[in-house]
């Protein structure tokens, strides 16, 4: 099942690249995304579980914008 999800993400990435529809962040940074892997999905899932447990503190203040604290 995870491999199907990975195939779908990669199909979308390729379609967006082919049609020039990657989000603006990719265009501004001149970045092309790497193929998605099953490990990427597991890593995101682990981070989300860690975050939901209240273990991650993230600052959005002007002096610490986007920094883990």
- For residue 5 the two structure tokens come to 């999800």
pLDDT tens per residue, range 9-50 = 999 999 999 998 999 998 899 888 999 999 999 888 887 777
Separation of alpha carbons 32 and 44, rounded Å: 19
Residue 32 domain boundaries? 2-68
pLDDT at 54: 63
Is the pLDDT score of 53 beyond 90? no
Please count the structural domains in the chain: 1
pTM exceeds 0.75 for this model: no
pLDDT at 65: 53
For residues 43 and 51, is the Cβ–Cβ distance under 8 A?
no
Separation of alpha carbons 58 and 20, rounded Å: 32
Separation of alpha carbons 35 and 37, rounded Å: 6
Residues in the chain: 69
Which residue did the predictor score with more confidence, 58 or 12?
A: 12
DSSP 67: E
């Amino acid at each position: 099942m995870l491999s199907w999800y990975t195939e779908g993400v990669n199909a979308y990435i390729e379609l967006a690249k082919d049609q020039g529809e990657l989000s603006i962040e990719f265009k501004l940074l001149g970045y092309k995304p790497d193929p998605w892997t099953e490990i990427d999905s597991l890593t995101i899932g682990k981070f989300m579980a860690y975050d939901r447990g209240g273990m991650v503190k993230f600052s959005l203040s002007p002096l610490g914008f986007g920094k883990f604290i």
